[in-house]
Each structure stands twice: as C-alpha cells, then as structure tokens.
Amino acid sequence: MGVPPDRKNISLFLGTDGADVVWSVGQRGGECTVFTARYVEDPRQAALTRVLALPCKDTDASWKLGCGFAATTTAEGQALIVRLKDAMSYRVAKLSAPLDRGPSAPTFPLAITCSEVFLGAGGETATILRIPTDALPDATPATEPPRPLGSAPADPDAGAPSSDAGADGGH
C-alpha cells in the first residue's frame, strides 16, 4: 500500500469483507486515491486496482464492502457509496433521525449486500435506512475508469495472472 511521504498528515482508511480490500490514502486536506484488491495473505501477490481520486474529506471513515460496492462517510456527514467495477459514486445526504437533537447526525454505512445498502442516519437514536443497490441516488460517473496497477507473478492456485502495486511495490 503506497503511503505519502509526509507521514504526519496522512489520511488513510481501509475496510475488508474477507474477500476484497478497499482503502483510501492521501495527504489530509488534499486528494486521496481509492484502491481495491482481492484479499491475499501475501501482499506481494495483491492485484491492485486504482478506483478513483477524490478530496480526502470525502473519505473520512473506514470502508464497508460488499458485492462490488464500498461505502464510507464524508467529513460533511454524508454516506459515499462507490461501485468498484466502474467507479460510479453515489451520495446519500446527512439525515437526522426523528428523535435526534444532537449537532452531529451523520449518514454512515452499516453493511452492503448484493441487493441493498444499509445506512445509519443520525446520532444516538440512529435510524436504519435500506436502499436497493439498483435505486441508489444521484450517480456521479468517474472521470476515468478504474485501472489495474503493475503486474505480479501468477498465483498457481488461481490459474490466472494477476497484477501488483506497481511502482511503490505494494507497500
């Protein structure tokens, strides 16, 4: 996993569902890059894909994953959902639960299945929202498609070549 040279001001969040890993990394206050890879025990065998770049304030919490989607919470308290195959992103506004009177009422990911995204909305009295993945709101296409980085030796158990982290060696 690549880490910016100024290690004092890093924005780094990650998540896994046991099959895939997603992480965002960059300089806090700057731009972050979102990456994904299949989960592997040996990081040298990881086949990294650069998914998209966005302001680090849009990746302000750990990632939740499921069925080709990843979700996090933005610094503004919105939920950000990314479809990993094409980097299409969706935002769900900061919502308050009916009894939540606190100043902080973020919309945050709880879980993702192949048919729904589950979000929490609000603070201590959070409401759970279920949104079908085929009905996610306000899609934003990526400026460029996801792209694999580098190439690694073939995994003898997988029977197909994969790619690694490229220039930074996956560290």
Burial of 149 per CB tally in 10 Å (0-12, 13-18, 19+): buried
* DSSP state, residue 68: T
SS3 at position 154 = strand
Give the pLDDT score at 167: 39
Give the pLDDT score at 97: 53
pLDDT in tens, 103-154: 577 899 999 999 999 999 877 777 899 999 999 988 999 999 999 996 444 4
pTM: 0.80
pLDDT at 14 over 90: yes
Question: Are 121 and 75 contacting, i.e. CB atoms less than 8 angstroms apart?
Answer: no
**Structure-derived torsion over alpha carbons of residues 125, 130, 133, 138, reported in degrees to the nearest 10:** -60
Question: Are 167 and 108 contacting, i.e. CB atoms less than 8 angstroms apart?
Answer: no
Query: How far apart are alpha carbons 15 and 87 in whole angstroms?
Result: 17
pLDDT at 87 over 80: yes
Query: C-alpha angle 12/18/20, rounded to 5°?
Result: 60
SS3 at position 141 = coil
pLDDT at 156 over 50: no
Write the CA distances from 169 to 27, 47, 146, integer angstroms: 19, 11, 19
pLDDT in tens, 122-131: 777 778 999 9
For the residues 59-86, what does the mean pLDDT come to? Answer: 95
